[in-house]
Structure 1
Amino acid sequence: MSQIALTSRLSHCLAPMPRVSNTSKTNKRFVTNASLVQREKAITSTSKGIFQKTIKVPIAPLPEPSTEPEACHELVENAGWNPGCMFVDELEFDTAANAAEPCRVKVTKSKAKRYQDSDTPLLGWLEKHREEYLDWMFVTEGRGRIFDNRCSNTGCNGEPLHRCLDCVGYAMVCKDCIVMAHRSLPCHQVQTWNGHHFSPTSLRDLGLYMQLGHLCGISCNKPLLQENFVIMDVNGIHTVRVAFCGCTDIEPRNQLLEFGVWPTTYKEPQSGVSFNLLRNFHLMNLKGHIPPTDYYHALTRMSDGDGMSPPPDRSVQFRTVIREWRHVKMGKRAGRGHDPSGLAGTSQGGNMVMCRACPQPGLNLPVGWEDAPPEARWIYALIVSIDANFKQKARARPGDARDPTLGPGFGCFVPHQRYIEEVATQTKQEEISHCVGFSAIWNANKKKSKGLRATGVGSVVCSRHGMFRPNGMGDLQKGERYINMDCIFLMSMMDIVARGLKMLYVTYDIACQWSINFFERMQDRPSEWHLPKNINIVFRVPKFHLPAHTEKCHAPYALDYTEGVGDTDGESPERNWSELNESARSLSMMTEGARFDTTDDVCNDWNHEKTLDLADSLLKKLIKGISNMVIFTRAYSAFTEALKHQHSAELLKWEKQVFDWEQGRSKDCPYEMPTSSITLAKVKKSVADEEKRREQSGENRRQTRSSASNVQKTDDGEIDTTLSGLMIEMLEIEEVQVSIASVASASNLTLYQETDLQNRRTTLLKRIRRMQENQFLHMPAVRHLIYANDEEPEREPETIRLLFPSSMSADDRISMVPAYATSLEDQLRYAQAFESLSVLRGLLRARTVTYQHSEQVTPSQRTFTRLNTLRTQIEAKIKSASEAYRLARAAVLKLRGKGDWERVLRELRIEDVRGIGERVAREEELETFRKAQTRAGVDPKDIQNILRGKSSSLPMIFVDPELEPIEKKNISWIWYTYGEQIGDSAEGASSKEVEASLRVEWCKTRARARRAREEVILVEEEMRRAIDFCRSKSIWWEEQKGRREGLEKWLDEGLRAYASEQAAMEHRRAMTWFQKLYGVRERAKVIREWVDNPTQDLEDNLSRLPALEIEVEDDATE
């Protein structure tokens, strides 16, 4: 997303009154699902172009935020801590050039031109040019259109029989000219004309030889000839004649390296691989996951297309060179060639590409960061994630012992030998998970390990930016054991902790179990692995994995309720595995050393790609974070202000409760929803217990004799269903009827859906018939009423009326139904009403999530179809839950009559079915919306689809209706009711229900506001860190010059040139990132200060900043 989306998304939510802007969007509001929301059109840019995208921003249903500073005092406690940038003064960027211009995003739109040749290029080519291309391909099979029987080199009279396939133009030249032109290009493919067609030949056969150790065209006085030297290049495998220089003592292997050919052996090399091929394969392997074997076979095909002249087999040597190339390249990029200790002196993890946005003491943290107050220490905390991957298996190979690891512990893998020795000290470890909802440990330890050297890998990654940590990966021998994960984690933390890190957040999908006794287990590990006592470590569970845990884990291990993590989800390892698993099959078949070296290289490339995309990634996060900060902070401030009118005392208590819980001083979790004391399951259990008591006391037999003396019984003379079982069965049938009726009301059912519907109806009808037979046994007098209902045989089963006691008149109920049945229905219906409300609240939360976060989905037809399908399903369930509640309440009203219970189980109106953050649009607002769209020329059908929530992508114009008064924005009563018993203390119980529900929602609103603000602060800090890291790295490369003494002049020049190149690149990257991020960073600071203190003049402060200006094309088709 480009920077212009910042103002596009925020232009409405920043100001108290929305304004129409002539910048990059068209604002509009529409009503959907009984909730007023805002839709905005933002301009986004991707690698494929610049597009317009419609996004949704929820409108806070509560009052405007208070302008009193204390209203936001909880969110600004860290505002005073603002350490400076390490290198901000050194950045040569004119930040005041356009300071006088207004701070707006000026977007100049121009109509994109449409061309059929570019829109559908294959269609035009197919119709007009396919045959033409085929003919001209045949032209190149001959000597060409412009051939005139003369050598193409001017002034040459030689016979033109040869051409080069790798040179441009396919010019026909004589033997001497083609040899002369290819003195430094010995691997080009040439052909010779035999009078009828071209035949493949080689430059070697034409007389060319490769002279090494001298300038091009100068022969050696003491040449050492190699007649059949094999070179593998990007265009095939070639046999060439090589003349090594015998004038100097430079070894042949080094002469080849100087020429750009990597020797396949260091002793008397007879073959080599060109640097061009190594670079090409390296990228193809990393990005295309092409294994060396397949790549080598492709080279063979290039050299021998007909299979009759196979080149010499050098596949084994090729794989060996690839290993050496990976290892040396990693060391070169890490500066090991400039260090006197060389590659052998590489520190643990020293070859890994480091995360520039994570805190790196000494590289990107400001002076005085160690003195940050405790409440601001989270800004400089490292957030890492741990996970295991069981697709990264490693088979036991016969050559493991003969295959060394070239860089043991130099990259992402831990030093394997030291790691294995430590793991072997604890062969048996009992790991019992008390979190029954998440059995990762138990499942992992059951994995088969026969024939495997490793069943998978454990890894530690940077959670915020998804980069692999140095020494953050190790093999797992038998599942996901604590000993393995402990060692991997501790070894990955050694370097960063040694540099003074103060705070650490750790996410792990089994953190609730793994963190128990972690520090005790750490004492059993080597002392150099121990974490310092003064470091603060916080353990949490990733967001996606948390719902699988038991409920007691949810709040304590939730990132959403953790101070200082921002919008971190902790799922970075899962995204990393998606890339690494592409190479899993190839890696699993490698020998031990090859697998370690290759995995180090693959992970290092992943980190490098993340580095290249870091500025854009942080920019997108900040744009998203600013809008979330404004929305959630305003919602929290407005919610707090609204609660102060009637719940001011409770607010103080809630604030203390949540603060004490966050500080670990209280176990009373404020985020836990109160458990309903009345559920249908509980009542069914109570009824079953009562039925058992009645059976043991003989009451059921006496009841049966009196009510069914003249009724036909079962074969064994007993009634096959108890009265309580009958009532429960009737309730369940009623639920099925509501569900089927909801499905049947849908239009455009597919043939499969219609078939399934009919099958469900048949099953339901049979179930109703069996239930009615049982009802005759307990209530024989209702037989004539049931037969009267069956007078219409064509009725669908979901419309058949069930004869509950509540469905009869009072007289019929007394005369036809046992009193115990009436009492049973009253209990069950009362519980059903509370349970239906609970289900309804959950569905409304789900609906809110689908609408508020729809802008985050990928703009593809498949994704939008899935999202709309999900919304349709949720709406259908909301309708069913609402209907179930209404049926239950109507039954209770019929059985009990009016009473105190109605103050809790109120009448459910359409406007009551809304989320806690939704409000209902008034009719005048709807009418204003319709008129505005009609005047703008929008089709009436499209307007109606928008209002009904059936469309979400139509262009609408902006409408600014007056918001409802405060008293109209009260939260729906359904959020106050959680199933407390109602009796004489009904008013007190109802008050507790309100307090409990409001406390939970207020705490969650507070947490969202705090996490959103933290996210903006963290991203701003990460931007600064990334820029400062580049500056530090530029200085570091400058310092590498001249570290090695006593070198040959030509080697020293090469070392200095490479260091200068890297230093310049790092400086250029720092400047580029600073300029790209400066505008949004400055706006973020101003907006954050305004959010912390709404009394500031936001418009005035923003106007002092330079304008962001961009020109885009409107790519919409007519």
Structure 2
Amino acid sequence: MFAKLLAAGEKAKREETVYSRSVQATSQAFNVDGTLLHTHTHAFERPPPIPIQRPPAPDKPSTSTLPIPPNPPTDTLPEKTVPPEEPLPPLFQDFEAKKVSIVDILFKQNTADGLGAPCPCGVAGATRTTMCRECWNYSAACTSCFVKSHVHAPTHWADVWSPDRGFFLRHDISALPGSPGIYLGHGGSPCPNVALGFVPQETFTIVDTNGIHSTKVQFCSCGIGDRAEQLLNARLFPGTFRRPRLAFTFAMLHDYHIHHLTSALPAYDYIAALRHLTDGFFFRDAANPYDQFRDVFKMWRILEAEMRAGQLHGIDRFFPRRPPGNLAVMCPVCIEFGVNTTHDEAAISDPSLRRLLFTADGNFQANHYLKTMEPKLISFYRGRAFFPSDPQYRVFAHRIKKDGQGSEQKTTCSYLNAINKQEKKKFVGTDISGILNIQCSHVFVVSTVDLQYGERFLNTDYAWHHAFLQRGLPTLEEMENLTGLFSYDIGCSYRVHALSRFLSRDELRDVADLVAKFEYCVPLVHVSNHKDNCLYLYSSAYRTGAGHFHGEQAEQVWPYSNQFGGQGRQMCNGNRQDLYIDLFNYWNFMKVVLLPAQLYNDLIRTAALKDEKLKVFISHCQSYSDKVPEWNKESREARTVRHKEVCCVYRHTPSKVPSQRRIYQALVDKAEGKGSLVAEEVSDEDDSMLEDSDNDEPRPPSPITLSPKHPKAVPLLLKHSISARDLQQKIMCTHAAYLQHETPTLLTKLKDLRSALNTTLTRLRTVQAQVTPQVAEDIEDINPEIENNTPEELPLFLPSHYTPADRVAKGLVALGTLELQMLEGAAYDNLARLRTVVRLLGAMGSDSKKNDYGQARHTRAKADLINANIKFETCMAQYNATRRAMISLGLPETDPTFKKMDRNSTRRKATTENRAPGDTYQTDGLLWTGDAIDSSNRLTHRPLVNNQHTSTAEAVGTQSSQPRKRKNKAKDKGEEPTSKKSRTGSPVATPLGADPVPASADGEASKDQHGWLWDIKSSSRDVSDKDVDAFLEEGNRVQWFRAEADVIRWQEEWERKLIEFLRTIRHYDKMADVWESLATSADSSPGKAAVAMKTSKRYLELSRRCEDVFRQAGYVYRHPHSSPRMADMTPAASTQQGIDTAADGGNNRAGDSPPTPYGGDHDLPGPAGGHTVLEDDTVIPFIQTARSNLNLTINNAIHPPPSSSS
């Protein structure tokens, strides 16, 4: 049997080898003198199968030289278990069940019913031979019927049945019998001025969405226009305007434009796809109109841009401040005087509401290759969009470089900036190294310039100048209270001579006064690559009036535009600029349409965060109530330099930070009860966590002989009970660590701890026998096996062990009251020790990271971290056990002081570390805030009820938009997240002062969040090192100032979002009015009027949707005067609204109850029907009232009124 298997395997292997060397059959077709010739390369034929070598009969000698091994015993063969296949989803199960019938239907499409039968038209000899696969429910008919039925669809393919071949052949309509053509000018009928029976002879190529047609076209001879005009009237765009022989359908051009913008489909690939649609096999035989298509699409694109921008309607007269002929899609939210900003808003002195926000960033993926033979095609936009006029820009760049003014000052603050580390060799072979964008805070592209050999200040200056001109320069009166914030990844260096550069150059001087109004910052992600000083000088997080302007908006467009980098770098520069203008216009257009949904999410998020941050700040004021009034006297704006380091209230003074070793040693002393911290000891040598106040009195001998009336009998009982409970928790935590690491040291420690627990229990039982003899029977029922092996599982039989009824029955009520008081003190001690141990872990991790190199040091550091984590787990377990006992004795589970402790509760942001991206979304844990704030479960997006079926991530990336971080499923379920490091047991060091929380027993640190632990007050005791004490005290001060900054920044952001909602509605209303005026103007043709009116209604619908989501957020915008346009909603629009409403499950427009108003700001002036009504003249007072209320709340938190309690 084994020989048969071996031979069969050899045969299969040989056959597989032969088959793998075979060549698949291929074919090619050539057209020679009108004859189609085919060449074939045949596959190698398989050799005949090799006969199986059968073993000889037993009575004959074997001729095989290979010995036949004996059959192995069956019980030694490994059993191969095939895992069961996972079941398919229901959809694919149904597909498998229907697959046979689906295949039959697909094959049926290659034939038709009634082929060869007489045609229903009744013409003699006419048979049903022709099918149209593009018309629905088309039955086979004769060719004449096909031509008649396709007068208005001449580009449908005709599938003609060939009886000889037995299948359908595809034909263009002109290839049918009689050579019918496409007639222009008379609705598909032949021109009456053409002789009857005339057959067009000119071959014409028409490119449609279904392929490339070589057909025949008959032009009209009635003088209705030249050939190009006749083609355009037939919705065909000619390839040339001088005797065209090629045209593209409007549908095809529009189809490609949409695919190109949404999926970065290149023109070459689109034409290749059309050739495949023409002939799926011999696709190379189809015509290739790629070159003509590029030129036609360039013209089509500029026409669409001019129609969309209203330039063909004369829209410039309604926007005199914008540059003439402007083709850029503008941001509806940004300040634009005369469009979306009222006079009251123009007079606001608050910098957060009158601030222009710009970002700048370069992208070297959008470069351009240097070519020797390149067509000199200019951009059709000619400086009327994002790119300035290219000839003027090149002259400016060349002159600045020639005069020697283009050299930039080197900056020393960043190792990844765009100046110092630019390698010129990476720009070899390019004449344009990339582009630089200026964008607003709502991620709308405002201006773009080309870069030459890197990113220089002259490029940024010109781009910024062009951005100002796009909106129109404000008047002197409007500029009086105007401010600005400019975010740039090298803003710290750019700002130094920015104003002087604008003043010294003629091309830029007209905006110099506006530039003088701007401050500069570095984006929050980029600033982490700068020196630490830049964070406190140029971070928007610590800048008044900045709100939550993170400055990284300029980066968000690059993932979209980078898809087109490979196409743009191969084009001539004019076509390349047209490409990027078209992309950025589409990007801006998408945001204009989807802006209401994003503004809603931003407003809801900011309202939630400003309230949350205020609660955190108030908790810090209560925790540091004795220090806050003095801290409040310090200036938030002051920045001083000491020893080349910037000092401010938001930063630890670098010179005051003690060494790692001093902090570590001081915290070890504090944790182990040395120095003056007796109550916070975490010592392995002394397991008693609470000593008598009289330390010089010796411990009573064992056994203890005290009467129940002895003055120290009850306190001694409670003292031993607390010691026993703490030891039990310590043993459990040590045992858990031993199961993970299995080290001999932990095993020895576990035995010693159980021995100490037995001693403590013996003392406890002795005192219990005298103080509470009524529990003796319960003690006697203890299982001896548990008592000897796992004493940590034994009950202590204290009042907290029993139910209230049992305590009454056993007479333990009075003792329970005393136990509760003792446990309360023990809980405070547990919290104090836990804070110490958390800081100890921070110092140990940081010290280990910097100094523990090499195997020996690393091994010792790992052991230390394991022990420190056991201390952490023990302290947390001891507190929770004490809390459970207190709850058993009557403490409410919802007690605001003693809450359940977990790892999240001990998290705290590092005060010694610089602010990191995303810190504003991380809130201190319960241990530190003393309130039930859990930022991980914050509802940042309320369900949005509107007609915009889109995800919030795709909506609009405004300054509050943050992509939602990946969910941690383990964290969401309340489990601890696992990682490779936690499984291997390698400790992860934590930076100094990070106050970390180990996420696992081996020391892996979690994300920085503060817990409520740090808000529980305890007795203030000196640390063993005064410098360390000052260092920790300064950490509290920095934490308080950063919390205050978070409150104010989110309040500013909330105020800005309210104004932005109103500006957006005003912009939509303005555009609706303008387009309606264009539709009714005297010089508008019917077609122009229809386009203008349709655009007006679209903007009107955008305004209505924006007001609708604003209402869902709890606000109502009351227009200065009722607009009659709302009553002019077209029936189609109203019907579509009903469809969308039904799809969304209804909304308040259909009579449903409005959403519940959000947040606590609806008690401010102006509520009506649960919503706050805002008007143009009341929105500013409303915001000012909210700001006054916030300032009053902050002041009361800093200086509590005498009558109020903390």
TM over 0.5: yes
Partner of 1:30: none
Cα distance per residue 1:699-751 (max 9 Å; x no partner): xxxxxxxxxxxxxxxxxxxxxxxxxxxxxxxxxxxxxxxxxx999979599xx
Residue 1139 (structure 2) pairs with residue 1056 (structure 1): no
Cα distance per residue 1:345-399 (max 9 Å; x no partner): 9946711111112222211112333222x2x243132211100111111112345
- One-letter identity of the residue aligned with 1:498: L
Query: How much has 1:676 moved relative to structure 2?
Result: 5.5
Partner of 1:810: none
Partner of 2:221: 246
Contact residue 361 and residue 489 of structure 2 kept, 8 A:
yes
Inter-partner Cα distance in structure 2 for 1:220 and 1:1089 = 71
Cα distance per residue 1:563-616 (max 9 Å; x no partner): 223222211121110100011111111111110111110111111111222111
Cα distance per residue 1:678-704 (max 9 Å; x no partner): 5447999xxxxxxxxxxxxxxxxxxxx
Contact residue 968 and residue 977 of structure 2 kept, 8 A:
no
Query: How much has 1:630 moved relative to structure 2?
Result: 1.0
Secondary structure, counterpart of 1:402 in structure 2: coil
Inter-partner Cα distance in structure 2 for 1:1037 and 1:854 = 45
Residue 445 (structure 2) pairs with residue 468 (structure 1): yes
Inter-partner Cα distance in structure 2 for 1:186 and 1:384 = 52
Query: How much has 1:444 moved relative to structure 2?
Result: 2.5
2:1111 alignment partner, one of 1068, 1078, 1083:
1078
Q: Pairwise mapping of residues 940-1089 of structure 1 onto structure 2 (< 5 A)?
A: 969-970=1016-1017, 981=1027, 990=1029, 993=1031, 996-1041=1034-1079, 1045=1083, 1052-1082=1085-1115
Contact residue 205 and residue 245 of structure 2 kept, 8 A:
yes
> CA 1:1053 to 1:746, structure 2 compared with 1: closer, same or farther past 3 Å?
farther
> CA 1:996 to 1:468, structure 2 compared with 1: closer, same or farther past 3 Å?
same
Query: TM (normalized to structure 2)?
Result: 0.57
- One-letter identity of the residue aligned with 1:918: G
Residue 520 (structure 2) pairs with residue 539 (structure 1): yes
Query: How much has 1:323 moved relative to structure 2?
Result: 0.8
2:135 alignment partner, one of 144, 167, 184:
167
Partner of 2:935: 852
Inter-partner Cα distance in structure 1 for 2:491 and 2:104 = 67
Secondary structure, counterpart of 1:1037 in structure 2: helix
Partner of 2:534: 553
Q: Pairwise mapping of residues 706-855 of structure 1 onto structure 2 (< 5 A)?
A: 768=856, 852-853=935-936
> CA 1:444 to 1:619, structure 2 compared with 1: closer, same or farther past 3 Å?
same
Partner of 1:306: 281
> CA 1:477 to 1:308, structure 2 compared with 1: closer, same or farther past 3 Å?
closer
Query: How much has 1:659 moved relative to structure 2?
Result: 5.2
Inter-partner Cα distance in structure 2 for 1:181 and 1:505 = 64
Query: How much has 1:480 moved relative to structure 2?
Result: 1.0
Partner of 1:181: 149
Secondary structure, counterpart of 1:607 in structure 2: helix
Contact residue 455 and residue 475 of structure 1 kept, 8 A:
yes
Partner of 1:402: 376
Partner of 1:34: none
Contact residue 1068 and residue 1103 of structure 2 kept, 8 A:
yes
Secondary structure, counterpart of 1:172 in structure 2: coil
Inter-partner Cα distance in structure 2 for 1:487 and 1:742 = 68
Residue 252 (structure 2) pairs with residue 283 (structure 1): no
- One-letter identity of the residue aligned with 1:371: A
Query: How much has 1:647 moved relative to structure 2?
Result: 2.9
Partner of 2:73: none
Secondary structure, counterpart of 1:448 in structure 2: helix
Residue 390 (structure 2) pairs with residue 446 (structure 1): no
Inter-partner Cα distance in structure 1 for 2:294 and 2:308 = 21
Q: Pairwise mapping of residues 674-685 of structure 1 onto structure 2 (< 5 A)?
A: 674-675=653-654, 677=656, 679-680=658-659
Partner of 1:939: none
Secondary structure, counterpart of 2:651 in structure 1: coil
Partner of 1:506: 486
2:344 alignment partner, one of 348, 368, 382:
368
Partner of 1:210: 182
Partner of 2:207: 232
Residue 316 (structure 2) pairs with residue 355 (structure 1): no
Inter-partner Cα distance in structure 2 for 1:557 and 1:879 = 35
Inter-partner Cα distance in structure 1 for 2:601 and 2:449 = 33
The one of the two structures with greater contact order (alpha-carbon pairs below 8 A, sep at least 6) is 1
Inter-partner Cα distance in structure 1 for 2:474 and 2:861 = 73
Contact residue 408 and residue 456 of structure 2 kept, 8 A:
no
- One-letter identity of the residue aligned with 1:1061: K
2:558 alignment partner, one of 577, 582, 587:
577
Partner of 1:919: 1012
Inter-partner Cα distance in structure 1 for 2:502 and 2:864 = 67
Query: How much has 1:1099 moved relative to structure 2?
Result: 14
Query: How much has 1:642 moved relative to structure 2?
Result: 5.2
> CA 1:389 to 1:266, structure 2 compared with 1: closer, same or farther past 3 Å?
same
> CA 1:214 to 1:526, structure 2 compared with 1: closer, same or farther past 3 Å?
farther
Query: TM (normalized to structure 1)?
Result: 0.61
2:394 alignment partner, one of 413, 416, 420:
420
Query: How much has 1:400 moved relative to structure 2?
Result: 3.7
Cα distance per residue 1:517-560 (max 9 Å; x no partner): 10111123225553252662121111111111101111121111
Contact residue 532 and residue 914 of structure 2 kept, 8 A:
no
> CA 1:998 to 1:269, structure 2 compared with 1: closer, same or farther past 3 Å?
same
Partner of 1:123: 93
Residue 435 (structure 2) pairs with residue 457 (structure 1): yes
Q: Quote the RMSD (CA, aligned, Å).
A: 4.7
Inter-partner Cα distance in structure 2 for 1:300 and 1:124 = 35
Inter-partner Cα distance in structure 1 for 2:167 and 2:1027 = 98
Identical aligned residues as a percent: 20
Partner of 1:590: 571
Query: How much has 1:852 moved relative to structure 2?
Result: 3.2
Partner of 2:243: 268
Residue 169 (structure 2) pairs with residue 199 (structure 1): yes
Gaps of 5+ in 1: 1-115, 685-740, 750-759, 772-794, 802-836, 887-909, 921-966, 983-989, 1046-1050, 1108-1118
Inter-partner Cα distance in structure 1 for 2:735 and 2:1087 = 76
Cα distance per residue 1:827-859 (max 9 Å; x no partner): xxxxxxxxxx99897599988679735767977
Secondary structure, counterpart of 1:425 in structure 2: helix
Inter-partner Cα distance in structure 1 for 2:912 and 2:354 = 39
Partner of 2:366: 392
1:518 alignment partner, one of 468, 477, 498:
498
Inter-partner Cα distance in structure 1 for 2:1027 and 2:316 = 77
Cα distance per residue 1:655-675 (max 9 Å; x no partner): xx115669xxx9862212122
Query: How much has 1:292 moved relative to structure 2?
Result: 0.3
- One-letter identity of the residue aligned with 1:185: A
Secondary structure, counterpart of 1:589 in structure 2: coil
Secondary structure, counterpart of 1:492 in structure 2: helix
Query: How much has 1:181 moved relative to structure 2?
Result: 0.9
Cα distance per residue 1:41-61 (max 9 Å; x no partner): xxxxxxxxxxxxxxxxxxxxx
Query: How much has 1:918 moved relative to structure 2?
Result: 1.9
Q: Pairwise mapping of residues 700-711 of structure 1 onto structure 2 (< 5 A)?
A: none
> CA 1:632 to 1:866, structure 2 compared with 1: closer, same or farther past 3 Å?
closer
Inter-partner Cα distance in structure 2 for 1:445 and 1:236 = 47
> CA 1:542 to 1:866, structure 2 compared with 1: closer, same or farther past 3 Å?
farther
Inter-partner Cα distance in structure 1 for 2:123 and 2:1073 = 55
> CA 1:874 to 1:1081, structure 2 compared with 1: closer, same or farther past 3 Å?
farther
Contact residue 221 and residue 247 of structure 1 kept, 8 A:
yes
> CA 1:859 to 1:121, structure 2 compared with 1: closer, same or farther past 3 Å?
farther
- One-letter identity of the residue aligned with 2:1088: L
Residue 193 (structure 2) pairs with residue 221 (structure 1): yes
Contact residue 433 and residue 454 of structure 2 kept, 8 A:
yes
Q: Pairwise mapping of residues 99-110 of structure 1 onto structure 2 (< 5 A)?
A: none
- One-letter identity of the residue aligned with 1:669: C
1:602 alignment partner, one of 583, 587, 612:
583
Contact residue 978 and residue 993 of structure 1 kept, 8 A:
no
Inter-partner Cα distance in structure 1 for 2:741 and 2:431 = 56
Inter-partner Cα distance in structure 1 for 2:1057 and 2:426 = 43
Inter-partner Cα distance in structure 2 for 1:411 and 1:1053 = 28
